[in-house]
Structure 1
Amino acid sequence: MSRPRAVNGIAKTCWRALLLDVNLYAEAFQGSTLHRAAQTAVIIAACSHAIGSSMILLTYNTSVVLQILAFLANIAVVVVGYYSWTFAIWKIGAWLRGSMPPYKRLLVPIGLAYTPQILNVFTVVPLLGRPIEIGLALWSLFAAIVALHNGLNLKLSKAIAICTLGWVIVQVTIGMIQIGIQRILE
């Protein structure tokens, strides 16, 4: 596939993920043709979060070294959050459901569920940054619920329980890490 076609394909896939396309999330469990789109969504989401956070740090006149460290830490937080949430969903799903597909098979649908996080750069908007961040995180939660409900044919209540419990654990952990980073930068 040529590069422009590949980029166009990834963009279309991400758009479908943003719209919570049921068929896309069902496809995500079938094969790995969406693997690149899921990886791209997570990487762009991580960079978007890092850019938004860095723009806020610029107002505090932090040193270039701290800016770079914070940028890299913010990328790492999103990527680690993605793998952690996928792991939590896998473990909680096995506990509540009794069986789950292998961890690797969950990476694509949960990666696609991270697509709303691409808009995290808008968290820089004064007074609206935190509500935007929470809204995007909830959008990702809804996407993961759609993915599990449709891709694994789970009852909606089980999909909600599995995804939400994992989401809460990861959100609290990420929040504590972000508070730690902020304290270091103060």
Structure 2
Amino acid sequence: MAELASSTSIVDRMVRAARLDVQLYEEVEADINATNQALLVVVIVALATGIGQAVSASMDATATRGVVGPIVGGLLNALVGWAVWSYVIYYVGTRFMGGTATYGELLRTLGFAQTPNILHIFNFIPVLGGLLSLVAFVWFIVAGFIAARQALDVDNAKTFWTIVLGAVALIVVFAVVGLVVALIFGAGVYVGRLL
């Protein structure tokens, strides 16, 4: 019984996610109670990344931003990014690739897939920080691939195309939103100059 409790602890699950344990992704896909843990993983990773950026910024004599901004901004960005990316993968995977997942299953698996990004806490270390960030990025991509594949219950090719189409869709959405925001605020600045 103690082993069961241990196997569902967030630390154990994060270690297994980092080890790319396929069974972990199956486990959290099926465990609706793991959604809060996946959220906590995203928060932990975002805070680690924010701390790494804040320490790096504080070491830069020319930096003008504070310590709180990178942490709060990173946290908000991580949470929104996790929710949107999970939905995009859910939508593309179930609508076009024949996947059989729920949005919650993608939230859980893709949340745990972010575990390798905890290495971003070392961003402030010259040279090593950059190398660790690159390792974390590649590791995260592999973990995300496994997470999406296991949640959607599709083969590698369909997982690949789900991620590619999802990324293209996300880029298009961000481009359109960015253009609209630029037009609105750009027009506001222009009108403000006229007045």
TM range (shorter): 0.7 to 0.9
- Segment drifting more, 160-169 vs 12-21: 160-169
Matches of 1:72 and 1:39, distance apart in 2 = 16
Structure (1 or 2) with the larger CA radius of gyration: 2
2-structure distance, mates of 1:137, 1:38: 18
* Residues 1:17 and 2:17 aligned together: yes
Aligned pairs (5 A) from 1:109-128: 109-128=109-128
- Do the aligned partners of residues 28 and 90 (structure 1) sit closer, same or farther apart at CA in structure 2, a change above 3 Å counting? same
User: Kindly, what percent of the aligned residue pairs are identical?
Assistant: 26
Q: Which residue number in structure 2 is paired with residue 77 of structure 1?
A: 77
Q: Please say if 1:58 is aligned against 2:58.
A: yes
Shift of 1:75: 1.8
Q: Deviations over 1:11-33 (max 9, x none)?
A: 11111111111111112221213
Change (3 A) 1:141 1:14: same
- Compare relative contact order (CA 8 Å, sep 6+) and give the higher one, 1 or 2: 1
Structure-1 residue corresponding to 2:189: none
Q: Quick check: 1:32 aligned with 2:32?
A: yes
The CA deviation at 1:150 is: 3.0
Alignment of 1:129-140 (within 5 A): 129-140=129-140
SS at match of 1:126: coil
Distance 2:116 2:171 in 1: 15
Instruction: Give the whole-Å Cα distance in 2 for the aligned partners of 1:134 and 1:171.
Output: 21
Over 3 Å counting, the alpha-carbon distance change for 1:75 and 1:137 in structure 2 is same
- 1:157 CA drift (Å): 1.1
Looking at structure 2, the residues matched to 59 and 145 of structure 1 have their Cα atoms a distance apart, in angstroms, of 35
Q: Distance between the aligned counterparts of 1:124 and 1:171, measured in 2?
A: 29
For the 8 Å contact 1:41–1:118, the answer to whether it is kept is no
After TM superposition, give the deviation of residue 164 of structure 1 in Å: 4.5
Which residue in 2 is equivalent to 1:183? none
CA contact (8 A) 1:141 1:167 kept: no
Change (3 A) 1:11 1:171: farther
Structure 1 pair 128–118 and aligned structure 2 pair: CA distance change class (3 A): same
SS, match of residue 30 in structure 2: coil
SS at match of 2:32: coil
The amino acid across from 2:79 in the alignment is V
Q: How large is the RMSD of aligned CA atoms in angstroms?
A: 2.9
List gaps (5 residues or longer) in structure 2.
179-195
2-structure distance, mates of 1:158, 1:59: 45
- Structure 1 gap segments, 5+ residues each: 178-186
Equivalent-residue separation in structure 1 for 2:150 and 2:41 (angstroms): 20
Say if 1:40 and 1:89 are closer, same or farther in 2 by CA, change over 3 A. same
Asked whether the equivalents of residues 98 and 154 of structure 2 are also in contact (C-alpha less than 8 Å), the reply is: no
Rounded to whole Å, the distance in 2 between the matches of 1:122 and 1:166 is 29
**What is the CA–CA distance in structure 2 between the aligned matches of 1:50 and 1:152, rounded to whole Å?**
31
Runs of 4+ in 1 over 6 A off after TM superposition: 168-173
Q: Is the 8 A contact 1:94 1:100 kept in 2?
A: yes
Match of 1:141 in 2: 141
